[in-house]
Amino acid sequence: MSVLIKNGRVITAVDDYLADIFIENETVTLIGKALEMEADEAIDASGKYLFPGGLDPHTHLDMPFGGTTSADDFETGTRAAAHGGTTTLIDFAIQSKGHSTLEALDTWHAKADGKTAIDYGFHMIVTDLEDNRVHEMKMLADAGVTSYKLFMAYPGVLYVDDGTIYRAMKKAGEDGTVVCMHAENGIVIDEIVKQAVADGKTEPKYHAITRPTRMEAEGVHRAISIAEVAHVPIYIVHLSSSDALEQVMLARNRGVHAFAETCPQYLFLDDSYYDQEGFEGAKYVMTPALREKWNQDELWKGLKFGDLQSIATDHCPFCFKDQKVLGIDDFSKIPNGAPGVENRMSLVFNGGVKTGRISLNKFVELTSTAAAKTFGLFPKKGTIAVGSDADIVVFDPNRTETISVNNACTHHMNVDYNSYEGFEVTGFTETVLSRGKIIINNCEYVGKKGDGHFLKRGLYGGMK
Ligand code: URP
Ligand code: ZN
Ligand code: ZN
C-alpha cells in the first residue's frame, strides 16, 4: 500500500516547507519536490497544511469514576479523536487498591484491544504501592508503560500520600521513567468542600469556589520538591492557573526536570461558566476547576516561552442528562470531567496561531512533538520525517466551523453536550492518515475499529 500526498505545506516543530510526501505501508519513505512515483492513493494537499498527527497524552476512556463510567469508550473516543486530527492517545490504566498494577494493565488492554481507531498507550495510575509491589514498576516499563500518574487530590478514591509518592518517584527515576502528577492539596480541599456542603452551598459553582488556585500551587510545589529529591522527571498534568505555573517556573529556573501541560478548557473557558442557569454549570465541573479569566494570558505566556510544554485535553466525558445529574443536589457528587478530545487541534490553531499567540511550529510542538518526546514515542510519533510513522493530518487553515453538539463535522464524542458549544473556529482537520492508512477522508470516518495498535513506549525522552 502506498500513498502520495502532493503539494502540501509540511509543518513540524522545526520545519516549514512545500513538499510531496511518499508513504509506503506504514511509514514515510520519501519527502521531496515534485515526486513522480506511482502510488495506490494520491491526495492533493494544495493550500493545506500537513501536520504530524496530534498526540493527546491525557484522556480517560471507559473510566470508572464518580460513581459512573466516562461516556466514551475506546471505540467512540478514538474515532472522535481521529476526526479532530489526533492520531495517538495516552490513556490511563488504574490500579485497584490492594491489587497488582499488572492486573490493571491487563484490564485496560482488554478494554482497548481491537477497538481503537488510532494508536494508543497507557500511563499507570498507582493508587497504593507497598514495598512488595515496587518491583512491578520495572515490569510495567518493560511492557511499554513508562509513565505513572499519581493523585494528590480525591482523598479516599485515587489519592496517595507523600510517602507513596516518594516511593513511586524514586523507583520511576531509577528506571528512567516519568511521573505525572495531579497536583492539588486534596486533603485541604476536602475540608473546604465538606464545610460548603454543610452550609447548604450545593450548586455547581461551589466546585470552583472550594478549590482555590493556591491549593493547586501548593500541590505543584510539593510534587516538584519530592521529585527533585527522588531524582525523577515530573510532568504536572492539567495545570490550570497562574499560581501553579509560577511554581513550575521557579523549579525550572533552579534546573529541575519539571514539565507541565495545560488544556484547552483552561485556555478558552473560565469560571463564569459556572454562573449559567440552573444546573448548566455542572457541564464544566472538572478538576482542577475553571479559573478566573485573567489566568488564560499567563498560561499562553507559559506556552509561548516554554514553561508549559504540551496541550492535552484531559478528555473525561460524562453525559449531562444521565451522569452529571448524579450531583444535582450536591456539587461534590457531580462526576468530574468534560469532553474535548475532538476539538483540541482546531481550538488551539484558532485561538493560538490565528491570534498570533504562538507560531505554527509551536502549535505542532504543543499538540504533538513535545509529548512524543516526554513519553518515549519520538521520532516514531510527533514529527513528519523519513522513517516516522505516517500519521499525517491534512489541515485546511481557512475552513471555518462552529463547534456544536449538533454539527456533524465537529462532534463525534459520545456525550450529549460540547464544552465549546457555539465557538467558531478557523482551521479544520480534513483528512487523517494513521500509519499510512486514510482513516478520515474529508471529515468522514473511513477507518475501522481495531486499526489502532497499542504502543510500547520507550523510556523518558525529555532530555534528548
Ligand atoms: O475532572 C477531571 N479532570 N477528571 C478526570 C480525572 C482527572 O483528575 O484527571
Ligand atoms: Zn487529574
Ligand atoms: Zn485526567
DSSP string, 396-420: EEEEEEE--TT-TTT--SSSS--TT
C-alpha of residue 288 to centroid of ligand 2, in Å: 7
Identity at 77, one-letter amino acid code: G
Nearest alpha carbon to residue 429 among 50, 33, 46, 14: 50
60 CB near ligand 1 (under 6 Å): yes
287 CB near ligand 1 (under 6 Å): yes
* Residue recorded with cell 486534596: 186
Cell of residue 371, nine digits: 509529548
Mention every residue, 6+ apart, whose C-beta is less than 8 A from residue 250: none
286 CB near ligand 1 (under 6 Å): yes
C-alpha of residue 15 to centroid of ligand 1, in Å: 34
Query: Which of 92, 236, 316 is the best mutation target for the ligand 1 pocket, counting ligand atoms within 8 Å of the beta carbon and taking the most?
Result: 316
pLDDT tens, residue by residue, 102-127: 999 999 999 999 999 999 999 999 99
pLDDT tens, residue by residue, 123-149: 999 999 999 999 999 999 999 999 999
Q: Note the pLDDT of residue 463.
A: 46
Query: Which of 70, 287, 326 is the best mutation target for the ligand 1 pocket, counting ligand atoms within 8 Å of the beta carbon and taking the most?
Result: 287
pLDDT tens, residue by residue, 156-175: 999 999 999 999 999 999 99
336 CB near ligand 1 (under 6 Å): yes
Sketch out the chain's domains with CATH numbers: 1-464 (3.20.20.140)
* Closest CA to ligand 1's atom 3: 287
Using the atom order of ligand 1, give the atom closest to the CA of residue 158: 8
Q: Note the pLDDT of residue 462.
A: 60
Q: Note the pLDDT of residue 461.
A: 75
Nearest alpha carbon to residue 370 among 123, 21, 14, 60: 14
Q: Note the pLDDT of residue 464.
A: 40
pLDDT tens, residue by residue, 383-438: 999 999 999 999 999 999 999 999 999 999 999 999 999 999 999 999 999 999 99
